Chain A
Amino acid sequence: MEQLIGELKEHLIEELNLEEITPEDIDSEAPLFRDGLGLDSIDALEIILILEKYYGIKLSNSAEAKPIFYSVKTLAEYIMKNRK
């Protein structure tokens, strides 16, 4: 799990162009879509791409994404359960 969280943070930084942010700066349990990382609806779509690209998970319904995308931790938990 810890390894997955670390890896996920790297992917988020890379794919969402979070320049000047290091994995240590991201609190695994803090909300992703609040002021912290300043993520928005385009980033949410990019996270859907990360799930498919790296973990083979297809999330077609963006409505179900909300609780999953809450934090890095909730994302990692979802990946653990659903990865292929």
Chain B
Amino acid sequence: MVGKTEVNIYIGTTSIYTCLGNKFETLAAMNRGRGGLSFNKQFSMFTGSLEVEMMETYTRFESLMIDQLIEVLSRTNIKLSDPSVQLIISTTKGNVELLEEDVDHPSERTFLYTSAELVAARFSASNPPIVISNACISGVSSFVVARELLLSGRFNHAVVVGCDVLSEFITSGFASFKSISEKPCRPYDAQRDGLSLGEACGAVVLTTDISRAVSPYIRLAGGAITNDANHISAPSRTGDGLFYAIRSAMAEAGLSADDIGFVNSHGTATRYNDEMESKALALSGLNTKPLNSLKGHIGHTLGASGVVETVLAVEQLRQGYIVGTYGFKESDLPHPLAISSGKQKITKACCVKTASGFGGCNAAIVLEGSDSAKLTTENHNILPQKVNVVAKYTLPQSDKAFADYIRVEFKQLGESNLKFYKMSDMSKALYIAVERLLAIEGFSEIEPTRRAIILANRSASIDSDIAHQQIVSQRLPEGPSPAVFVYTLANVSAGEMCIRHKIQGDNTFFIENRDSGLAEDYARLLIARDRADAVICGWCEYLKGEWNVDLKLLKKIYD
């Protein structure tokens, strides 16, 4: 359980595929100030779409991931068949377009883990893949999780792959939030009116063995995940959640604002996201650092964005100058940022990469280049923390229909919370289970940023996905319901708990085939490495009227 104290994590081989092409094509286009968004007739909006050469027996989503994995693995002798290598897959919606075929009977391939296993099998992976579905922070989350697993000494290398493809499911959902830009999106610009969606795939090899790293060396020096605990879809008005993520990632890296050369932000170009980021960066003391968003070039590529943009951040650190923010001219932000509008030299070889997403989640990582890093081994100086299971609760099964059962359970709590009835069924089941768990032992003594929630399930959010796809398929003139769409991300249920119980620390959602104990295992790592003092963890499944919610509350033991 104890993290090794002398471990560095380096970036190995990397590859991406975006609407601007492969890694070098994408970087070259960005260096020349070119964007890749174009009008997509199928979805009636500007998107960054890909041409995909499909592989036999694989879907578009899977073909893209296999392609990128072949690309990174062919240039290293690290193999997924080696037990010391862990594959981590980041996606929000995977093969969700398959729901269009038969919405009431989702095929096996609609389940993220089925798809992940097929990809892992293609490379004879030794370990079962880890799938992270954490809304728009999934990609950055994957690096944070990879970092924790590598520091724990369980694996020597990790291969992170992030991918999402567009379908009417996704485009109509974002349209229902009125968050799609009329034109190609313009991050931070005063004229910005929303985001543009894109599809992309990226893969990164992370290694603790410098002889396998790619020179010039870049370290994954720190990372953190937090929650706003404010709203499931609206960005925080204060920016505190993202600020906590940046602060914690920089503390991990042992760096201060002075050491940072540039910030690659989420920068979706929605009015509220960009404003929130400006506040968080001001709180972090990073508002004077050169900053760029790549969403204007390639769109918001969802579960791929954190991976693809990190690969591009690494390349910008290596070339010593950053690219501009496509579409940006002048800003009207409450806290001015040093937004880069064109190629710009950087003086320090360190980058902070951030992301924020539905469910109120935020993530930040720190990438440290070799000339600023003395490449000394990390010394975490963290004493191993002991962990106690202080409460367990399993939501009982019932003969009653879920709606009737859960209403009675909620009434028994004897409170009125008008939000409860608006939640997805999975969120309702989790809500009751967490109330009962915390009634056994609460965590009011724990500071909000030291509280975490780590969950896993099999179906992700397929129950809500079906509800949304049913509406999409009806092609109603008024369009789909945002109140349904928002729950088509499993981590939004965790986000509801963050709001309810003021959980501002890590909130990660894993997708698995069955409960392997991964959520608890990761929760234990967080406490062991002193990244949290109390963690709600366990299994949270709800699909078509059947539920299985099995939770534990872990706490640090104080000597």
B41 at the interface (CB under 8 A from A): no
- Name A45's contact: one of B177, B418, B421 (CB within 8 Å): B177
Q: A17-B421, A41-B233 are in contact. Are A52 and B478 (CB under 8 A)?
A: yes
Q: Tell whether A43 pairs with B231 under 8 Å between CB atoms, given A37-B418, A38-B419.
A: no
- Measured CA separation A3–B342 after assembly (Å): 59
* Interface residue range, chain A: 10 to 19
Task: Tell me, yes or no, whether A34 is within 8 Å of chain B by CB.
Answer: no
Residues of B close to A19: CB separation below 8 A: 421
Could you say which residues of chain B place their CB within 8 Å of the CB of A41? 231, 233-234
Contact B231 A40 (CB under 8 A): yes
Q: Are B478 and A45 closer than 8 Å at their CB atoms?
A: no
A63 to chain B, nearest CB (A): 10
User: Given A21-B418, A38-B418, are A49 and B481 also a contact pair (CB < 8 Å)?
Assistant: yes
A18 with B418: CB separation less than 8 A: yes
How many of chain B's residues have a CB under 8 angstroms from any CB in A? 20
Q: Does A53 contact B (CB under 8 A)?
A: yes
**A43 touching B483, Cβ below 8 Å:** yes
Q: Is A45 within 8 A of B178, CB to CB?
A: yes
Question: Contact: A46 with B483, CB < 8 Å?
Answer: yes
Closest chain B residue to A51, Cβ basis? B478
**A42 contacts B416, CB within 8 Å?**
no
Q: Is the CB of B231 within 8 A of A46?
A: no
Contact partner, A17, options B231, B478, B482, B483, Cβ 8 Å: B483
A17 to chain B minimum Cβ distance, whole angstroms, is: 5
Q: With contacts A20-B416, A49-B479, A53-B478 known, is A40 near B421, CB below 8 A?
A: no
Q: Cβ of B422: which chain A residues have Cβ within 8 Å of it?
A: 16-17, 42
- Tell me the complex Cα distance, A19–B476, Å: 25
**B477:A52 contact, CB within 8 angstroms:** yes
A41 to B422, CA, bound (A): 13
A26-53, CB < 8 A from B? 37-38, 40-43, 45-46, 48-49, 52-53
Asked if B84 is at the interface of the complex by the 8 Å CB criterion, the answer is: no
Known interface pairs A49-B481, A52-B477, A62-B178; A42-B233 also in contact (CB < 8 Å): yes
Residues of chain A within 8 A (CB-CB) of B72 are: none
Residue of A nearest to B416 (CB): A20
Instruction: List the A residue with the shortest CB-CB distance to B178.
Output: A62
A47 to B177 alpha-carbon distance, docked (Å): 12
Q: Is the CB of A45 within 8 A of B416?
A: no
CB distance from A38 to the nearest CB of B (A): 4
Does B486 lie at the interface of the complex (its beta carbon under 8 Å from any beta carbon of A)?
A: yes
Report yes or no: A40 in contact with B234, Cβ–Cβ below 8 A: yes
Residue of B nearest to A60 (CB): B178
Which of A21, A45, A49 has most chain B Cβ within 10 Å?
A45
Give B414-438 as 1s and 0s: 1 = Cβ < 8 Å from A's Cβ atoms: 0010110110000000000000000
- Which chain A residues border B419 with CB–CB below 8 Å? 38
Instruction: Please give me the residue from chain B that is nearest to A21 by CB atom.
Output: B418
Q: Find the B residue at minimum CB distance from A52.
A: B478
CA distance A7 to B522 in the complex (A): 51
Chain B residues contacting A38 (CB-CB under 8 Å) are 418-419
Check if B481 sits within 8 Å of A46, measured CB to CB: yes
Q: Which of B419, B478, B479 has the most CB of A within 10 A?
A: B478
For residue A46, which residues in chain B have a CB less than 8 angstroms away from its CB? Answer: 481-483
Q: Is B176 an interface residue (CB 8 A)?
A: yes
In the assembly, what is the distance between CA of A21 and CA of B416, in Å? 11
Nearest residue, chain B, Cβ from A58: B478
| Chain B residues near A52 (CB-CB < 8 A) | 477-478
User: B245 to nearest A CB, angstroms?
Assistant: 22
**With A and B bound together, what is the CA distance between A16 and B479 in angstroms?**
16
Contact call B482/A42, Cβ cutoff below 8 A: yes
Return chain A residues, CB-CB under 8 Å to B478.
49, 52-53
Determine the distance from Cα of A42 to Cα of B177 in the docked complex, in whole angstroms: 8
- Verify A18–B421 contact, CB threshold 8 A: yes
Q: B466-484 vs A: 1/0 string, CB under 8 Å? A: 0000000000111101110
Nearest Cβ on chain A to B419's Cβ, whole angstroms: 6
Q: Which of A16, A20, A42, A53 contacts B486 (CB 8 A)?
A: A42
Nearest neighbor of B423 in chain A, beta-carbon distance: A17
B128 → chain A closest CB, angstroms: 36
Chain B residue at minimum C-beta to C-beta distance from A41: B234
Contact between chains at A45 and B482 (CB < 8 Å) = yes
Q: How far is the CA of A17 from the CA of B428 in the complex (A)?
A: 13
User: Bound state CA distance, A18 and B476, in angstroms?
Assistant: 23
Across-interface contacts of A16 in B (CB, < 8 A) = 422, 483
Q: Quick one: CB contact mask for B218-240 with A, threshold 8 Å, 1 for yes?
A: 00000000000001111000000
The CA-CA distance from A65 to B481 in the complex, in Å, is 18
Give bound CA distance, A72 to B232, whole Å: 25
Chain A hits for B176, CB < 8 A: 45
A16 to chain B: closest residue by CB: B422
Given the complex of chains A and B, what is the CA–CA distance between A41 and B482 in angstroms? Answer: 10
Collect the chain B residues with CB atoms within 8 Å of residue A17's CB.
421-422, 483
What are 23 residue pairs bridging A and B, where the CB atoms are less than 8 Å apart in the complex? A16-B483, A18-B421, A19-B421, A20-B421, A38-B418, A38-B419, A41-B231, A41-B234, A42-B232, A42-B233, A42-B422, A42-B482, A42-B486, A45-B177, A45-B178, A46-B483, A48-B178, A49-B478, A49-B479, A52-B477, A52-B478, A53-B476, A53-B477
- 4 more contacts with CB within 8 A, not counting A43-B483, A62-B178, are A16-B422, A17-B483, A45-B176, A46-B481
The 6 A-B pairs at the shortest CB distance, nearest first, are namely A19-B421, A52-B478, A38-B418, A45-B482, A17-B422, A49-B478
